[in-house]
Structure 1
Amino acid sequence: MHSTMECLTDWMTRQRWYAGKGRLPQLVEVGRDEWVCDEPEARILVLLVRDTANNPPSLYHVPIVMRSTIPRGAGRTFIGRDEHDDYLFDGAHDAAYTRALLRRLGVHRDNQQARVHGGEQSNTSIIFDAGSEAPVVAKIFRLVHAGENPDVVLQSALTSAGNRSVPRMLGSVTGTWVDPHGSDAHSDEPSTGHLAFAQEFVPGVRDGWPLALEAADAGESFAVDAERLGRVTAEVHAALATCMPSREATLGDIVGFVAGWHQRLAVAMSDVPQLRALRPAIEAVYDAAREAPWPALQRIHGDYHLGQVLRRPSGEWLLVDFEGEPLRPLAERTRVDSPLRDVAGMLRSFDYAVGSLRSASRAAAGAIDTASLDLDALALEAARAEWAREARAAFLDGYIAESETDLRQHRALLDAFELDKAVYEAMYEARNRPSWLPIPLAAVAYLVTPERAAKR
């Protein structure tokens, strides 16, 4: 038998949502809440634990069901046995917790049978779709931050505004903790943040990423879907600009954006030496964007790509997962930003659909020597990627038609946002998936070519 923290230490290293891969957690409990349980033989404990082994220290939300025995079939969700002889189970997979979660969310269902969606990493989604009632999905945030999570705030605002391009929000749960050593609030004052929320679950939808991959692999045009996606992206941006704060970009804002791009490039060059030869050309794109006209700043999706959109059977698109990049500080994810960042993110995603297929072919042919990649050949490869070019053009056409904003007036700025995204991707791939490094490097090399510059 071990303490609760010892049980969690071993168990968390095996969870997909644990961000400290390759490290042993150093856990400190900073908050706990015991929820009312409808099973006399069980207790529900909602823990907030700080992992001080991570830098900065991560805060995790861990709901636990404590039982005196191991129920039949519950072995796969077993966490451990604590010093009080209680058996601990992952609450997300335990009916006692999922029923209590519905009550906390204020969602009434006669049929409360639940299942856990298996495809996520940073969060856990619990789906209630048994019976004839309208299906519901509850998302548990595993990484928690002090403040309002944009996934809750933005989708709630869009729901209140009557926007139907996001699933309808139904309720949320917050937690409170005191953590003088945490990264969110270095004081003894209590902090509050979102732990979970519920929204409608839309059956029959398909994720945009496999849809695009299938089309690219078969050589089938994605232009119709991309054009519709461009329209709905512009529609959601317009709705966010209306129901959330927006303002004109100041010189300070612009300088801050450009400085961030230069800083990311400097960091990326240590991981991707090929970027050094392109540095003057990359910086020229960044500096040109500083002098270009900037659209108003507003709240945006923040981590926009084909994996964040769902297509209904009727063809309409839904936008999901407005949390932004979970590992970025919440303050960065909740401030106004440029809608061109979202546009650039989706453009990169179309390139990735084609590039990932090429990477698979390269990998099948043998190991890739990333040090000897030919940048000129990669740039030419990117320019000739007809499927991606058609999808990108259709997406932009749809966005322009819906927003009545001519993105061609912002081509220099859009290229800078896309270039910054590709530089970040190159750094990520060099660290995690070297065989995919040619994908972002091709984009970087192409975006700085004289031919591309002539179109700005």
Structure 2
Amino acid sequence: MTAPDAALAEELPLHLPEYLARQRWFAAKGRPVSAVSVAAVTPLVEGSELLLDLCLLRVEFADSPEPDHYQLLLGRRTVPATELEHATIGAVGGHVAYDAMWDPEATRWLLDAIRESRVCGDVRFVPEPGAELPVGMPGRILGVEQSNTSVAYGDKSILKLFRRIAPGLNPDLELHRALRRVGSEQVAGLQGAVEGMLDGQPATLGMLQDFAGNSAEGWAMALASVRDLFAEADLYASEVGGDFAGEAHRLGQTVAVLHSELAEALGTGSRDGAELGTALAARLSVAAAQVPELGEHVAGVRAVYESLSGTIPTQRVHGDLHLGQTLRTPYGWLILDFEGEPSATLAERVQPDSPLRDVAGMLRSFDYAAYHQVARQGASEGEEHQLHQRAEEWATRNRTAFCDGYAVGAGADPREQQTVLKAFELDKAVYEVVYETRSRPTWAPIPLGSIARLVGDSAPSAAR
């Protein structure tokens, strides 16, 4: 990437604070931003009605000397189409600047660039060997933006543009390449990547994969199952038409097979249990200082961490596994998004870890699916108590089914390592409390209740 021209360097930053604050993928909401600038630019399309640049934004903070970097595919037109109004950033250099991931012409250019192995400055568009990519097809943006932005090309390909950029190979791309080498069927096939540079080191900008057509997200399926249970007050979860336990069992098997493939591709290791407990306790101390509501549970959580001992097997894992990272296709489950925990550094996210961290993440997700629905019902106090009981029934049934399936796929039951599994569940729930307190305060009781249950501070139904 090169230094930005005068218009981008001087005019674009004027619009960026307000623009970034509106973006779901901007991870620094709530932090004191002291400056936003354009660190570097790679021109992609020049001399036409569409000006297209890959921009690297530098975001500085008053509470830290370390900046964050975010990627923006910037389009500029004299008169953008009306359907791009919602993506508008502001006036820059006599043009209207906007997020070009919403522009079909721009996303068509990206797909063609990967297929043709184009190089623009130090940005390389790299197809995977043997991958068959669509020709001349515009992209359509998918769903609500999360930490990244994705566009689909018909029913063949999906391109994910990473928004927050760090030096080094993104683990999402790294692990998909490793799984491709061992012929994994638990992930969508990798088709290509966009690679660049940051601070003199290689950086991953995007990746292209097979599009999983006719699929449903695991989170949406789980919520539908909970709604079905709540609508049938006189039936058990096993009797409701939308019972999810069979899918939870199959999903557990899929995750177990994925773990075995990651171990085959990238090897295994180990970690001292006491050292892990010390690290988790340090994270707990930081979280408790930020969220006073954790205070009453700290002693119980710390006791679980202090009970860790012995040697814990490790390998590369997903690192941020939950129902929203899964897709049910007509052929089975697929696992998505291997970037790892969003708040962790890249160095932390690529470290080997226990597969039980992923298992714990899924168990937490079943709790979320059940109790999120309770909060949405808007029931009276008496009705809410009954809903809590129903939610407990659903969560327990599906947590059990997932672990049963994992045991089948792995040949070992994760519940046999109860202390380690509980420690990872607690670590995830503590992280959730901090996140929810900052972003969605009404959801904070869900992880707080789970912590109370896990450390035995109260009965399960009351804890929630």
TM range (shorter): 0.7 to 0.9
Q: SS in structure 2 opposite 1:109?
A: coil
CA RMSD between the two structures = 2.7
What is aligned with 1:370?
Answer: none
Q: Are residue 260 (structure 1) and residue 279 (structure 2) matched? A: yes
Alignment of 1:363-374 (within 5 A): 365=380
Q: Are residue 354 (structure 1) and residue 370 (structure 2) matched? A: yes
Cα distance in 1 for partners of 2:375, 2:448 equals 12
Alignment of 1:89-128 (within 5 A): 89-106=98-115, 108-128=133-153
What is aligned with 2:176?
Answer: 155
Cα distance in 1 for partners of 2:353, 2:301 equals 22
Contact 1:31/1:48, CA 8 A, preserved across alignment: yes
Matching residue within 251, 255, 261 for 1:229:
251
Cα distance in 2 for partners of 1:67, 1:278 equals 55
Contact 2:253/2:408, CA 8 A, preserved across alignment: yes
What is aligned with 1:30?
Answer: 39
Change (3 A) 1:311 1:384: closer
Change (3 A) 1:286 1:341: same
Cα distance in 2 for partners of 1:398, 1:216 equals 20
Contact 2:187/2:335, CA 8 A, preserved across alignment: yes
Contact 2:167/2:198, CA 8 A, preserved across alignment: no
What is aligned with 2:58?
Answer: 50
What is aligned with 1:281?
Answer: 300
Change (3 A) 1:357 1:41: closer
Change (3 A) 1:74 1:422: closer
Instruction: Report the CA distance between 1:414 and its aligned residue.
Output: 0.7
What is aligned with 1:242?
Answer: 264
Instruction: Report the CA distance between 1:237 and its aligned residue.
Output: 0.4
What is aligned with 1:184?
Answer: none
What is aligned with 2:397?
Answer: 390
Identify which of structures 1 and 2 has the higher relative contact order when contacts are C-alpha pairs closer than 8 Å and 6+ apart.
Answer: 1
Matching residue within 359, 381, 387 for 1:343:
359
Cα distance in 2 for partners of 1:384, 1:63 equals 43
Cα distance in 1 for partners of 2:204, 2:335 equals 20
Cα distance in 1 for partners of 2:415, 2:28 equals 42
Cα distance in 1 for partners of 2:250, 2:169 equals 31
Matching residue within 444, 447, 454 for 1:447:
454
Amino acid at match of 2:57: V
Q: SS in structure 2 opposite 1:229?
A: helix
Cα distance in 2 for partners of 1:233, 1:424 equals 22
What is aligned with 1:371?
Answer: none
What is aligned with 1:61?
Answer: 71
Q: SS in structure 2 opposite 1:17?
A: coil
Q: Are residue 306 (structure 1) and residue 315 (structure 2) matched? A: no
**TM-score of the superposed pair, with normalisation by structure 2:** 0.82
Alignment of 1:166-177 (within 5 A): 166-177=187-198
Change (3 A) 1:276 1:90: closer
Q: SS in structure 2 opposite 1:335?
A: coil
Q: SS in structure 2 opposite 1:26?
A: strand
**TM-score of the superposed pair, with normalisation by structure 1:** 0.84
Q: Could you list the runs of 5+ residues in structure 1 that have no partner in the other structure? A: 179-189, 367-376
Cα distance in 2 for partners of 1:86, 1:6 equals 15
Contact 1:171/1:198, CA 8 A, preserved across alignment: yes
Change (3 A) 1:327 1:437: closer
Q: Could you list the runs of 5+ residues in structure 2 that have no partner in the other structure? A: 1-6, 116-126, 128-132, 230-239, 460-464
Instruction: Report the CA distance between 1:34 and its aligned residue.
Output: 1.1
Residue-by-residue CA offset, 1:65-112 (whole Å, 9 max, x unaligned): 233443454333332222x32332322122332122113322642341
Identity %: 36
Instruction: Report the CA distance between 1:165 and its aligned residue.
Output: 1.2
Q: SS in structure 1 opposite 2:207?
A: strand
Amino acid at match of 1:94: D
What is aligned with 1:400?
Answer: 407
Contact 1:173/1:194, CA 8 A, preserved across alignment: yes
Q: Are residue 318 (structure 1) and residue 327 (structure 2) matched? A: no
Contact 1:396/1:407, CA 8 A, preserved across alignment: yes
Q: SS in structure 1 opposite 2:42?
A: strand
Change (3 A) 1:177 1:415: closer
Q: Are residue 75 (structure 1) and residue 85 (structure 2) matched? A: yes
